[in-house]
Structures are given as structure tokens and as C-alpha cells.
């Protein structure tokens, strides 16, 4: 992140969405008052990301809430602890790998004002024109100038 960034956005699919959420939670903790944690490994990761700016947005497809106590420590509690990055979450109604409820949990419990979209299919990124238009509208609605 430090060597190749900064990045405007992060896109994740499945486990990549969970990892993106962990990364953004760590980055946010490095820039807020939410950086005082007793776990030494967590503190080291937060310190390592202190000079990396948060992305301006994230698009997370077929993601899930990481069931890790360290992640819970970063995003649970008050609204100020949740990840404050504009996000688009896409979940599939018939996803047999990551059930829709787990994707909804990521959006509602880890992020502030997440935008959640549900498609009729399974574990994939919908790519037809109607869905691509929704992705474009999400990006067009962001302030990427700062």
C-alpha cells in the first residue's frame, strides 16, 4: 500500500472482500482515536499502516464479515469505530459459498452507510449492462477529487 499507493479504491471478491475490510479497518484505526488496542500484533499492523491513506471507496463482491476477535475489536462498538469509507456491497441470493446473510453482516456491522445490492445469482460478480450501470453510478456519485 505504501510503495504502490495511494489508491482511489479497493475492489474485493469473496475472501478478498474480507481482507479488504480488515485492511481498511486497520488503516482507519491508524488515523483515528481507535488505535489503542492491547493486542501487540494488532498494534504493530496499525503502526505499519499509519502513513497509508484510506481509499476513497471500496466495492466488495460476495464478501463476508471476518470472524476474528481482532477485527471485532477494530469495528465493534460505536459508529465511530465502523469503517467510514463509501462502499458498495454486492451479495447473491443463491450464493452457496458465502450466504447472503454473511455479506449483509459485513455491510451493516463493519461499515458506515454501506450501499448493499442483492442479485438473484450465486458466487460471482454480475457483469451485464444493468449491473455495470449500477457500479458506474456508485463511482460517479463519489467525490474522488480530494
Grid coordinates standing for 4?
A: 504502490
The full 3-state SS of 89-122, as one line of letters, equals: EEEECCCCCCCHHHHHHHHHHHECCCEEEEECCC
Grid coordinates standing for 27?
A: 488503516
Looking at the annotation, which residues are catalytic?
A: 14, 95, 123
How much of the chain is in helix, strand and coil states, percent to nearest 5?
A: 40, 15, 45
Grid coordinates standing for 17?
A: 472482500
For the chain, counts of helices (H) and of strands (E):
5, 4
Rounded CA gap, 48 and 6, in Å?
15
Amino acid at each position: 500500500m505504501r510503495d504502490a499507493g495511494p489508491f482511489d479504491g479497493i475492489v474485493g471478491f469473496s475472501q478478498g472482500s474480507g481482507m479488504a475490510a480488515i485492511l481498511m479497518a486497520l488503516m482507519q484505526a491508524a488515523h483515528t482515536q481507535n488505535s489503542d488496542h492491547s493486542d501487540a500484533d494488532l498494534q504493530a499492523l496499525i503502526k505499519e499502516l499509519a502513513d497509508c491513506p484510506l481509499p476513497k471507496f471500496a466495492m466488495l463482491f460476495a464478501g463476508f464479515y471476518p470472524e476474528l476477535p481482532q477485527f471485532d475489536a477494530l469495528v465493534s462498538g460505536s459508529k465511530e469505530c465502523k469503517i467510514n469509507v463509501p462502499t458498495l456491497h454486492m451479495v447473491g441470493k443463491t450464493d452457496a459459498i458465502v450466504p447472503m446473510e454473511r455479506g449483509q453482516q459485513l455491510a451493516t456491522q463493519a461499515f458506515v452507510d454501506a450501499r448493499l445490492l442483492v442479485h438473484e445469482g450465486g458466487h460471482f460478480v454480475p457483469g451485464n449492462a444493468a449491473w455495470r450501470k449500477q457500479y458506474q453510478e456508485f463511482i460517479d456519485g463519489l467525490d474522488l477529487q480530494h
